[in-house]
A and B are shown apart, each in its own frame.
Chain A
Amino acid sequence: MAKILIVDDDHDFVQSVTSILEATGYDVSAAYSRVEGMEAVKTVQPDVILLDVMMDEPDDGFTMAQDLRRGGIKIPILMLTSVGKVSGMAFGKDAEMVPVDAYEEKPIRPDRLLTRIRELIKA
């Protein structure tokens, strides 16, 4: 079954998403910061990364996505964040600055989350 890595500093969010994904049959791993996330990408080698933006720094998710792409890692990234709601700014996929495959604002319905993950795995 496909491996999903969640990188998010919100432990409650990680726990609830993990239970949804595991119930669907995915193999789920979690990291709680950008540094842990970069390490986990190497060790877990996930098929999809669910990535938050605001962690230790308010731009950690953007930085991690850029660092992965700069390092030649093309694993699909679903950015899942409330940064837009918190900051009032409009963010989204951007080939250069936000190099992710899909961008969704939290909160997200479980069926939509599963659909987006399936799309990314198929792609």
Chain B
Amino acid sequence: MQIIEREKLDQMIQGLKAKYGDDQSALLPILQDLQSQYGYLSGVALQETAHALGIHPVEVEGVATFYSFLRTKEKQGKYVIRLCRTIACDLTGKARVARQLENELGIGFGETTKDGLFTLEYTNCLGMCDQGPALMINDRLFAKVTPDKVSQIVEDCRQDFLKSDFPKVVPSFVQKKGPIIDHGVQPAQGLKAALQMPRPDVIAAIRASGLKGRGGAGFATAVKWQLAAAAQSDAKYVVCNADEGEPGTFKDRYLLFEQTPFVFDGMTLAAYVIGSHKGFLYLRGEYLYMKDFLEDALAKRRADGLLGKQILGREGFDFDIEIRMGAGGYVCGEDTALIESLEGMRGEPRNRPPFPVDTGFEGRPTIVNNVETFVDATLIMAKGSEWFSRFGTEKSTGTKLFSVSGDCARPGIYEFPFGITVNQMLAEVGGIEAKAVQVGGASGRCVARKDFDRTIAFEDISSGGSIIVFGLERDMLQVAKNFMEFFVEESCGQCTPCRDGNVKLLEGIELLEQGRCSVSYLNELVKLGETIQLASKCGLGQSSPNAFLSIIENFRDEILGRLPQSV
């Protein structure tokens, strides 16, 4: 690198430091901006960034090589085509689109064309599961891509499509509205109501509603907020987990676009309750196309006095929200990994305890809640606890947004009360003939027909919102294989059960595919799966064998003794 180029690079890094901060928490956004400027992160760029932030170059390289959207080896093409390879797109013909992309570009996945125009990659869920197969070109989404559309898309790129008016946003299909989607509440109404109440009363209202976290784990929101509120600290943080990476989940995409004020109202009222002045919305890298839209929404809130100093005229209540982009990493949806990522580290989960609520961002009390949880909290403040708790079951109050995809007549977003049976849900979505339903995405469980009368609720089958329907013709071993490939790719590699165990499970699936797996070996694989559930460090590892184990349990007859030609 010539001296003049190096000086230019240094100047850019200094500018980015001024914009994002001068500590390690600024590392990820700085690397993301450098990559978009230079096409990749060269060794020199990594070293200069390390020097500027006063951290060791090895740490910077460790971060740069952790995230799938950051490139350190070769310059990426002007157009980075990322094709979704997760299960819902797989069910809708991803393989043929992939083949046609390779044909049109003359390269394989993971390669860049010689003219430097195109890079072709696989990516995990783009949140377009109801409109697959989906691909993303830079920050633009393409839904329902067919092999014959591929050549046109490639040609549009050659004609410099970034200058065209191609819409960035693909609409969401809301198939069934309920009290959360069709709420009739005005923006800021819930926030105003909360700010008129003493902080303990807000928590009491959330507690009375029975609201539990909508990400899937189902921790009581009021307890989390109460502990953070009661803690004494010089700083506290509110984090909205918009890292919607669970395959088959796309309801947060809808909420972020269509219910934007209510997400930010929820974050702001949470800040009021716990005494925070700073919030982060951690947006997954695959949702880059939303960033400008959300930044505009935040700017409008600042202009309207809903963010910044003395919000709604309340003395001492200062709060602002910053959007931080993920860079490709499913594990960052786990709240401690998300916090690591916010701090500019590799997105590796922490040991628990301590929990984020006591030792979160920069060691301070931090609440991390799902997008939907913030919306629900806002509406509870506007409409009351009883309004919310009259829906659902005793232990799982309220309604839940579900992202439905796969083999059904009407994929899209549905709002159902907790306690709905799988059968009732299938009737609504037009999938009554289903052979199985994956509830809760890759980390959820595969529910077979015999269990279709079970309910979706925290006390029965829990779900963060992903529902993938499998029709009668689906090969369940291929489904299990897709999920295991996903976890092998997405394991952060920190702990052995998850890092190595999932590779072994995938090898076992490949043996099953070839019809070369004995029952005793299959039983060993099941034991291994149970060990992974027990011994993994974080939620990702602990839930990674769920799909495999439930498919083996429910479809053993279909899977054993295959003939090679049936593969």
Interface residues of A (CB under 8 A from B): 57-59, 62-63, 66-67, 70, 86-92, 94, 96-99
CB distance B229 to A97 under 8 Å? Answer: yes
The answer to whether the Cβ of B207 comes within 8 Å of any Cβ in the partner chain is yes
Q: How many residues of B contact A (CB 8 A)?
A: 24
What's the minimum C-beta distance from A54 to chain B, rounded to whole angstroms? 10
CB distance A58 to B227 under 8 Å? Answer: yes
CA distance A96 to B202 in the complex (A): 12
CB distance B231 to A91 under 8 Å? Answer: yes
CA distance A70 to B207 in the complex (A): 15
- Known interface pairs A70-B201, A97-B200; A90-B223 also in contact (CB < 8 Å): no
Among B199, B203, B358, the one with the most A-chain Cβ atoms within 10 Å of its Cβ is B358
The answer to whether the Cβ of B178 comes within 8 Å of any Cβ in the partner chain is no
Q: List 18 A-B contacts (CB under 8 A).
A: A57-B223, A58-B227, A59-B222, A59-B223, A59-B230, A66-B203, A70-B201, A70-B204, A86-B353, A87-B355, A88-B359, A89-B232, A89-B233, A89-B365, A92-B232, A97-B200, A97-B226, A97-B230
Contact code string B369-410 (vs A, CB < 8 Å = 1, else 0): 000000000000000000000000000000000000000000
CB distance A89 to B201 under 8 Å? Answer: no
Chain A residues near B223 (CB-CB < 8 A): 57-59
CB distance B365 to A67 under 8 Å? Answer: no
Query: Which listed residue (B198, B207, B230) contacts A91, Cβ 8 A?
Result: B230
Chain B residues near A92 (CB-CB < 8 A): 232
Query: Which listed residue (B204, B230, B353, B355) contacts A94, Cβ 8 A?
Result: B230
Chain B residues near A98 (CB-CB < 8 A): 230
CB distance A62 to B358 under 8 Å? Answer: no
CB distance B226 to A89 under 8 Å? Answer: no
CB distance A59 to B226 under 8 Å? Answer: yes
What's the minimum C-beta distance from B201 to chain A, rounded to whole angstroms? 7
CB closest chain-A residue, reference B364: A89
Interface residues of B (CB under 8 A from A): 198-201, 203-204, 207, 220, 222-223, 226-227, 229-233, 353-355, 357-359, 365
CA distance A66 to B205 in the complex (A): 13
What's the minimum C-beta distance from A73 to chain B, rounded to whole angstroms? 14
Give the 7 A-B CB pairs with smallest separation, nearest first. A89-B358, A66-B200, A59-B226, A89-B231, A97-B230, A90-B232, A87-B358
Further contacts, 5 of them, CB under 8 A, given A59-B230, A92-B232, A98-B230? A89-B232, A89-B358, A90-B233, A94-B232, A97-B199
Query: Which listed residue (A59, A70, A88) contacts B358, Cβ 8 A?
Result: A88
Chain B residues near A96 (CB-CB < 8 A): 198-200
What's the minimum C-beta distance from A76 to chain B, rounded to whole angstroms? 19
CA distance A91 to B233 in the complex (A): 9
CA distance A94 to B228 in the complex (A): 13
CA distance A90 to B231 in the complex (A): 6
Chain A residues near B199 (CB-CB < 8 A): 96-97
Chain B residues near A62 (CB-CB < 8 A): 226-227, 230
CB closest chain-B residue, reference A94: B230
Chain B residues near A87 (CB-CB < 8 A): 227, 353-355, 357-358
CA distance A98 to B231 in the complex (A): 9
Chain A residues near B222 (CB-CB < 8 A): 59
CA distance A99 to B204 in the complex (A): 15
Chain B residues near A86 (CB-CB < 8 A): 353
CA distance A58 to B359 in the complex (A): 16
CB distance B227 to A88 under 8 Å? Answer: no
CB distance B200 to A88 under 8 Å? Answer: no
- Known interface pairs A70-B200, A88-B353; A59-B227 also in contact (CB < 8 Å): yes
CA distance A24 to B365 in the complex (A): 40
CA distance A74 to B358 in the complex (A): 29
Chain B residues near A99 (CB-CB < 8 A): 200
CA distance A63 to B37 in the complex (A): 52
What's the minimum C-beta distance from B228 to chain A, rounded to whole angstroms? 9
Among B207, B222, B232, B365, the one with the most A-chain Cβ atoms within 10 Å of its Cβ is B232
